[in-house]
Structure 1
Amino acid sequence: MTDVARLAGVSLGTVSNVLNTPNLVAAGTRERVERAIEELGFVRNRTARSLAMGRADTVGFVIVDLANSLFLDIARGAEEAFDTKHKRLLLANSDVDLAKQTGHIELFEETQVAGILLAPLDAPLEAAQQARGRGMPVVQVNWPGSGDACGVVADEELGGYLAAKHVIALGRRRLVFAGGPFSLSAVAARRRGVLRACEESRGVEIETIETPRITVRGGHSLGVMLAERPPHERPDALVCASDALAFGAMQPLLAAGVSVPEDLAVVGFDNNRMSTDSPVRITSVGQPGLEMGRVGAELLMEEIALGDRHEHRTIVLPPSLHERASTIGGRG
């Protein structure tokens, strides 16, 4: 900044105003400073600025899987909220890898961001707990909070309940819930919702099938297994714990001559791109990603502003059912 001030023939304070409050600087002076910045290739050091001011204007967001459009929606919602407070959002994708997740949290802490949003793996969150212990605000999105952290989640059990109630209302009586592993908290909650809906309905049979993962490949194996059953032993409705699983299952089923939804109604979960790109558009339970991101950002900004006076809490948001051709037929 000293070099810029010398070249432009202005004070350090004027350079600072051009960078931070340009409306306070006369147009001619501002243009002279901007030309000096461009000529010198000056780039402000945000880390040094944060140390000098005692606060950062950047926030880190560690996301478990950017291939899943739910997390893109969450990131968009968070960014919109941070924009209103003039904070910059830095994204990091852990790509379903605990070591990468830990590394990203440590990097954000080292660069002294104002706070961290974390959409985590279903695993012990030791790195996040350690960062919080050193005073770094961390808010969990798509994961419940705890005594020392806030969280924002969708009501996963209600989502499973809505999916099962939908196909039962259509007259389906032999249901399969598929997903896994059941040790994953989201899958377990969705399964509980399906079981509850079936228990409330007379004459409904429910079978649960645990899959190794909720991926397209896992869905394909599931579809092959169901297609190999005699027609009278197949379910008439399949509720999957993810759209990827539903997408993968439908391919071998359709190839085997199973008609969707006439023979088999199919419901997915997440309402991501796969649900609408499928040859038969998939009915899906959607989570409010934009709202989850917005609420998570607001909780984090509140914690940054209030410090120890902030009250940790978990916000639970309702999911919604998006009906499409895989259950209602036609052009749905």
Structure 2
Amino acid sequence: MQDVADAAGVSVGTVSNVLNHPAKVSPATAERVREAIGRLGFVRNDAARSLVSGSTKSIGMVLADIENSLFIDMAHGAQDAARAIGQNLLLANTACDMRLQDDYLDLFDESRVTGVLLAPMEDSTAGIARIRSHGRQVVLLNYAPRPGTCCSVLVNNEHVGYLAARHLIDTGRTRLAYVVAHDDYQPVRDRRRGVRAAVEEAGPGVTLEEIDSVGLTTSHGHVVGAELARRAPEELPDGLLVVTDELANAIIHELHTVAGIRVPDQVAVVGCENNRAAGAAAVPLTAVDMPGRMMGQEAIRLLMDEVASGKQHRHATVVLEPELIVRSSAPN
């Protein structure tokens, strides 16, 4: 900064104002400083600034699975909200690997980010406690924390499962099957409870089979779809609930496109995320929408509220409601 000041014929304080408070500097002086910055190739040292301020103008966001468009939507919402308040968003993908998640939490902690948004699939209490003990605030997305741990933004995942099952029941489907895996994931467990509640509410005229897909990816969906296609017609469910849209689209492909089992005439299918591929499937997928962008925006708001309130802060939980989006795989 001293080199820039000497080259521009101004004080170091003026250079600092151009970088941080440009409204305090006349346009002509600011232009002279920016010209010197460009000529000298000056890049300010944000790490050094963070040593003085205790944090950067950045927020870390750690996501479980960047291939899932729900998490992408969360990131878009968080980025929009962060930029509106002069913060940058730094993004990390753990691919559902808890060790990698811990590494990224430590990296953002060491980088002195303003705070961290964390969207995990498993209990992350230990990692949250570790970086909170260093004064770094954390907000959880799509995962309910242990009481008193941190702020959180949730979708009512139990209602996601309920809406999906209730739609099939209301459209006359009576032999339901729920395709699901990873009951160790909290959102998955919550959706299962909602599905079971809707079936129990419907009474003895509706049955529910639960199919373990082992995993949640497209390849697992193809396996389940192929296995269903080998069943005799009378053994097929007439309504399929699928815990993720990625699984659902692969199952539709195996049933409808490969085996010629008509969706929705013979088997109606409902997904539980409304991801970006839902409307582009071989048969556009009816799905329960998760408001990912709003989740990201609310998480930034909660984080900055905690940063501003300091020791007076009280943890809060925001619960957003899902919405059924009806398409061709399970029409009304």
What interval of TM-score do these two structures reach, taking the shorter chain for normalisation? over 0.9
Is 1:155 the counterpart of 2:117 in the alignment? no
Aligned to 1:308: 311
Matched-pair contact (CA < 8 Å) for 1:158–1:193:
yes
- Distance, in Å, in 2 between the alignment partners of 1:310 and 1:73 is 28
Aligned to 1:291: 294
Aligned to 1:174: 175
Aligned to 2:33: 33
Aligned to 1:15: 15
SS where residue 301 of structure 1 aligns?
helix
Q: Superposition pairs for residues 109-258 of structure 1, below 5 Å?
A: 109-146=109-146, 147-202=148-203, 203-254=205-256, 255-258=258-261
SS where residue 240 of structure 2 aligns?
strand
SS where residue 118 of structure 1 aligns?
strand
Aligned to 1:88: 88
Cα-to-partner distance string for 1:7-34 (whole Å, 9 max, x where unaligned): 1110011101111121221122111111
Q: Which moved more, 1:159-168 or 1:183-192?
A: 183-192
Cα-to-partner distance string for 1:89-118 (whole Å, 9 max, x where unaligned): 111111222222111111111111111111
Aligned to 1:99: 99
Structure 1 position 189, deviation (Å):
1.2
Q: Which moved more, 1:125-134 or 1:68-77?
A: 125-134
How much identity, in percent, do the aligned residues show? Answer: 44
Matched-pair contact (CA < 8 Å) for 1:70–1:289:
yes
SS where residue 208 of structure 2 aligns?
strand
Structure 1 position 148, deviation (Å):
2.2
- Distance, in Å, in 1 between the alignment partners of 2:39 and 2:143 is 48
**Amino acid of the residue matched to residue 195 of structure 1?**
R
- Distance, in Å, in 2 between the alignment partners of 1:124 and 1:116 is 13
Matched-pair contact (CA < 8 Å) for 2:179–2:240:
yes
**Amino acid of the residue matched to residue 326 of structure 2?**
E
Aligned to 1:264: 267
Structure 1 position 50, deviation (Å):
2.1
SS where residue 326 of structure 1 aligns?
coil
- Distance, in Å, in 1 between the alignment partners of 2:43 and 2:93 is 26
- Distance, in Å, in 2 between the alignment partners of 1:284 and 1:93 is 25
SS where residue 327 of structure 1 aligns?
coil
Matched-pair contact (CA < 8 Å) for 1:145–1:314:
no
Q: Any gaps of 5 or more consecutive residues in structure 1?
A: none
